[in-house]
Amino acid sequence: MDDFGQLSIRVLSTSLLAYVAYVAWQWHRLSHIPGPFWASLSKFWMVKQSLNKRQPLAFKEMTDKYGTLVRVGPNDLVTDDPEVLRRMMAVRSDYTRGHFYNAMKFEPGKDNLFSMRDEVAHMTLRNKMAAGYSGKENESMEGTIDAQIAGLVDLIQAKYLSTPEHVIPMDIGHKTQYFTLDVISALAFGRPFGYLTKDEDVFDYIKITETYIPIMLTLSNVPWLADLLHSRFLRGLLPKESDKLGFGAFIGVAKAVVQDRFANASKPQPDMLGSFIRNGLTADEACGESLLQVIAGSDTSATTIRAVMLYLIKNPSMYSKIQAEIDQGILTGAISSPIKDSEARNMPYLQAAIKEGLRILPPAPNGMFKQVPPQGDVISGTFIPGGTQIGSCALGIHHSKKIFGPDADSFRPERWLEADAARVAEMTNTVDLVFHYGKYQCLGKNVAWMEFNKVFVELLRVFDFALVQPDKEVKISNGGLWVVEDFWVKVTRRGL
C-alpha cells in the first residue's frame, strides 16, 4: 500500500474514533436521564416521530413511561412539568431559545420574532410590537373580527344551508381556517385576503402549509439541516416573493403592502401594521412580522375553533348547554348583536368550552426547545448540564390527570364549573401555557381570545350543526400543527 493509502486509512480511523468518542461523551453527559436508548445516540428517533406525524403523542408516551423529565435525543430532553416551563420562560430566566428555532425562519436567512434567538434583539423588537397586538393602537380590532365573523355567517347562509330534503355538506375545517386567515390578514394588513368572499384556498395556502409546516418542524429536530437550507447555496429552494402560490405569494403580498405604507407614511392607519411602523419597525421587520402573524395566527386559532366545534357536535348534552347559555343571554339582554368580547367573558360554559378546546388539542404542541444556561441547572434534584435543550411535552402537560382529573384525556367543560377556586386557578394557569409565558408569551393571545369569545356565539345563535356521517371519525393528525380532515357538517338555520 502506498503512502497516500496509508494516510487515508489513518485519517479515516482517526475520524471514526473521534466520532465514536464524541457520541460516547454526548451519551454519558445525560445518561442519568431516562428515555428510549436509541434516542440517546442520534436524532433519528425524534425525526421518525415527526415524519410519522405523531411527535407530540410520542413525547407524552415517553413522559407517561419514564417520568416528568425524559431524554428524547442526544442533547434533548422534554418535560411535562408546567413549573419547569415557567422557570425556563420567566422574564429574568437565564434560559434562551434553543437550536429548534433555527428552522422557524419564513424568509431565507431572515429572522422573525419567533425565530430570533438573540435575547436582547428579541426583547427590543417585542416591545415595539406589543402595542399593536394589545389593541391600544388598533382600536378597530374588535370591529375587524366582527366583520369577518359576519362574512363567515353570510357564506354559510348563501351556500351551505341544508334543508330536510337537501343536504349540502360543508367542510367546517376549511371554512374556519378561511375565517382565521381573513381575520389575521385584515388585522395585519388592513384588508382581508378574501378567503371567505371567494370561498377558496387563496394562493393554495392551506394545501401548501400542510406540506411545508411538517417539513419545517422535521428540520427543527436537525438544526444544522435548517442552517444549510438557509445558506446562500440552497436558499433558492425556499419560498420567495416571486412565487405565485403558498408562502412565497404571501411574502410578495406582504412586501407590496409594506412598501405602500412606507411610501405613504404621512397617512397612518389604525391597524397593526400602522402600529408597527409608528413604533419604529423597519420595512423588512414590518414585512417579516406581518407574515409571521398570518402563518402563526391562522392555523393555531383554527385548531381551537375546530376542536371546540367538533367536540360540541359530538356531545349533544354539551352542545345544548352552550346553546342554552347563548339563548338565555340574548333573552336577558346580556348578549349584544354581535356579541362584545366583554360580554362573552361572563359566559361560564362558553369559557369552559374554549379552555377545553385549547387543552384537548394544544394549538402549537411542538417541543419549542429552550437551552439550559452555561452554568447548568438543577431540575427536581437532577443536575442538567449547560447547553442541553429542554422542550415542552404539550400533551403531557395539558392532559395531566394530576392537574385536570382522571378524565383529562376527555373533552368535558364541566370540570371548570365543578372545581373549587384553587383547582380552577391551577388549571387556568396551565392552559395559559398554550400561549407560552413570560418573555416568550404569544403577543397574539388577546386576538385569539377575542376570536374565540365571539365566533362560537355568532355561529350557534344562528345555526345548528351536525356531522354528515356521525359514525365516521374525523381524521386528526399532527405534523407540527394539527391537521383536521373530513370534518363535514350539515348546517341548518335555527328557528329562533
What residue numbers does the annotated binding site cover?
Answer: 442
> Which H or E run includes 403?
helix 401-404
| Of 348, 361, 476, nearest in space to 410 by CA | 361
Which three-class secondary structure state does DSSP give residue 138?
coil
Find out whether the peptide bond into 338 is cis, omega within 30 degrees of 0.
yes
Backbone angles phi, psi at 293, to 5 degrees: -55, -45
CA distance 31 to 21: 15
Whole-angstrom distance, CA of residue 112 vs CA of residue 248: 16
- CA 407 – CA 64 distance, rounded (Å): 15
Do residues 111 and 103 lie in contact, with contact meaning Cβ atoms separated by under 8 Å?
no
Residues counted in the chain: 496
- Which amino acid is it at 236? G
Residues at the binding site for heme are 442
CA angle, residues 411, 364, 289, in degrees to nearest 5: 140
Q: What SS3 class is residue 213?
A: helix
In whole angstroms, what is the distance from residue 411 CA to residue 139 CA?
35
